[in-house]
Amino acid sequence: LSTTIATASGYVTDVGYSATFTPSLSPDWLDLTTLISGYAPPARRDGFAFCELACGRGLTSAVLAATYPDGAFHVVDFMRDHIAYAASFADRAGIGNLTLHAADFATAAQLELPRFNYIVAHGAYSWIDAQAREDLRNFIDCHLAPDGLVCLSYNAMPGWTADLPLQRLVATFAQGTSGDSIVRFAAAEAALRRLSAAGVPALNGSPMFAHLLTTQRDRLPTSYFAHEYLAQAWQPLYVTDVRADLATIGLCPIGSAILANNFDAYVLRDAQRDALAEIEDDDLRELVRDCMLMTRFRCDVFSRNAVRVTERAQRREILRRRFALVLPESLVSYSMRTEAGTLRFDNPLARDIVAALSDRPRAPRQLGLPTTDLVANILALVSARIIRPVNGTDSPVDNLNEALAELDSEAIPLPFCALSCGTALRLEPALHRHLRGHGQLPRRLRAWPDFLARATRATRQDRQEDGNRVATKR
């Protein structure tokens, strides 16, 4: 017996999605993306309004709301169980500045809401049908503040090319079985494992299939894969199509929240950069760039009225914002793998920055370091995910971390710890168990407890004195 999979807007709705925290959605991360690209971030001197569309279980916005108390946070998701989960979590963590809307995008567009300085939608746009994408855009059109930023992440082409048959096979096998989406995904996976042993080039040539079989499957619950692969509307998108969609509501691309991607010198080889330099049209150049990088996931930041900043102002603003080290100093490796090879930045200044941030987050200009190459090293460290842009002030996170630690592992398979500076870190399960008083700590994780003790302590603050004022040029 086979029945249709329960979907709405082409999306799987019969089982819950697993929760996660996505650091690149934070206001400071989006501001830095904007600055790196040469534009002024939203002015948020008197607080700000932030909305996460398709928030899932709402963990990202809950952590941000708790650590950005001057922000008014809203989340929207049409799965009532997701919103109920987020509400109960916010209640337990004592978060008062998070408003939850159990609504689809079309309904939410009609709500009376603040004008948002930030609207983010992570992992939704390429999993929903054309009508839902239009509704999402309409929400943005109605509710974005004039200088607001939008961050849209989606599965992209051409990176998924070799995996298209995998998704089609999983979804079609699942459609032909019965049960909820978890049962169906498991049945489809079992069928594909058997088939692949017989020799199916379209499957065996799929990098995602190999990844799924070797590492992903043991780390993540089946509900994650059901949401990932079973949506009828699933369709990786070309950047030019997404840009054309957003142009209909007056939005222009600014940069990528995958910070390394904003620097051609990091991710492209010389010959590729030369070839790109010959293409004048921005959208075509980006499409070709995606083909060079075989991009499979994009986190695009858009704005309606982006204002250019002078190079001087850009530099000054980067130097006055706080950054946090997100791993113990002893574990930092001063290099990063990119599509262009290995980028090395092991120099005394990079080491001094890391050493200075090991105690607490600070603004680069407060580190007492030489200013030559300071911004370049900050940008290399941030692109390599060794440091993160964070809130200008700390907030207490004890209640938040208590509530996070109590979440069940089916809903949140990879545990997180919130830092007082406005972000959260994924914890290895052995470290998480140890911190909860269970089990030995493996040697390789020994530096983490001290690091986390410092990073979860709210320290007296180095305020970003002059708000978000940036000199602009038109």
Ligand X SMILES: C[S@@+](CC[C@H](N)C(=O)[O-])C[C@H]1O[C@@H](n2cnc3c(N)ncnc32)[C@H](O)[C@@H]1O
Cis preceding-peptide flag for 348 (omega within 30 of 0): no
Q: Does 82 bind ligand X (CB under 6 A)?
A: yes
Specify the residue, 150 or 325, whose C-beta has the smaller distance to ligand X: 150
Number of residues that bind ligand X (CB under 6 A): 22
Q: Which residue is nearest to ligand X (CB)?
A: 56
User: Which range, of 15-23, 176-184, 237-245, 454-462, touches ligand X by CB under 6 A?
Assistant: 15-23
CB of 415 to ligand X, least distance (A): 15
Question: Up-side HSE of residue 176: CA atoms within 13 Å toward CB?
Answer: 10
| Among 17, 39, 173, 345, interactor with ligand X by CB under 6 A | 17
Distance of CA 180 to the CA centre of its chain: 28
Distance CA 383, CA 72 (A): 28
| Among 49, 54, 98, 119, interactor with ligand X by CB under 6 A | 54
Distance of CA 381 to the CA centre of its chain: 18
| Among 5, 9, 126, 323, interactor with ligand X by CB under 6 A | 9
CB of 378 to ligand X, least distance (A): 27
Query: Considering only residues 213-272, where is the footprint of ligand X by CB under 6 A?
Result: 227
Specify the residue, 39 or 118, whose C-beta has the smaller distance to ligand X: 118
CB of 92 to ligand X, least distance (A): 19
Query: Considering only residues 156-175, where is the footprint of ligand X by CB under 6 A?
Result: none
Q: Which helix (H) or strand (E) holds 148?
A: strand 144-155
Distance CA 287, CA 279 (A): 11
CB of 227 to ligand X, least distance (A): 5
| Among 74, 101, 122, 184, interactor with ligand X by CB under 6 A | 122
| Pairing mode of beta strands 335-338, 323-325 | unpaired
Specify the residue, 226 or 318, whose C-beta has the smaller distance to ligand X: 226
Specify the residue, 135 or 317, whose C-beta has the smaller distance to ligand X: 135
Query: Binding pattern to ligand X, positions 290-329, x when CB under 6 A?
Result: ----------------------------------------
| Among 132, 149, 309, 350, interactor with ligand X by CB under 6 A | 132
User: Which range, of 126-134, 213-221, 445-453, 458-466, touches ligand X by CB under 6 A?
Assistant: 126-134
Specify the residue, 80 or 269, whose C-beta has the smaller distance to ligand X: 80
CB of 20 to ligand X, least distance (A): 5
Specify the residue, 95 or 367, whose C-beta has the smaller distance to ligand X: 95
**Is the CA virtual torsion 86, 88, 93, 99 positive or negative?**
positive
User: Which range, of 76-84, 169-177, 331-339, 363-371, touches ligand X by CB under 6 A?
Assistant: 76-84
| Among 23, 41, 42, 56, interactor with ligand X by CB under 6 A | 56
Distance CA 179, CA 403 (A): 32
User: Which range, of 119-127, 196-204, 266-274, 371-379, touches ligand X by CB under 6 A?
Assistant: 119-127
**Residue 315, CA distances (Å) to 31, 129, 171, 306, 310 in order:** 13, 41, 48, 18, 9
| Among 71, 123, 236, 361, interactor with ligand X by CB under 6 A | 123
Specify the residue, 133 or 362, whose C-beta has the smaller distance to ligand X: 133
CB of 354 to ligand X, least distance (A): 29
Distance CA 114, CA 153 (A): 23
380: closest CA among 269, 267, 255, 468? 267
| Among 128, 150, 152, 378, interactor with ligand X by CB under 6 A | 128
**Residue 81, CA distances (Å) to 13, 281, 439 in order:** 10, 45, 33
Specify the residue, 20 or 235, whose C-beta has the smaller distance to ligand X: 20
Specify the residue, 131 or 399, whose C-beta has the smaller distance to ligand X: 131
Distance CA 324, CA 331 (A): 15
Which two structure tokens, joined as six digits, stand for 120?
């983010």
Query: Considering only residues 407-436, where is the footprint of ligand X by CB under 6 A?
Result: none
| Distant-in-sequence contacts of 13-16, Cβ < 8 A, 24+ apart | 13/78, 13/79, 14/180, 14/181, 15/180, 15/181, 15/182, 15/223, 15/226, 15/227, 16/57, 16/79, 16/81, 16/82, 16/85, 16/223, 16/411
How does DSSP classify residue 145? E
Specify the residue, 75 or 188, whose C-beta has the smaller distance to ligand X: 75
Please give the torsion angle defined by the CA atoms of residues 264, 265, 271 and 272, in that order, rounded to the nearest 10 degrees.
-20
Residue with tokens 């930045």: 345
Specify the residue, 54 or 246, whose C-beta has the smaller distance to ligand X: 54
3-state secondary structure of 59: helix
Name the burial class of residue 136, with classes exposed (0-12), middle (13-18) and buried (19+) by CB atoms within 10 angstroms of its CB: buried
Residues in contact with ligand X by the rule CB under 6 A: 9, 11, 17, 20, 22, 54-56, 76-79, 82, 104-105, 122-124, 127-128, 132, 227
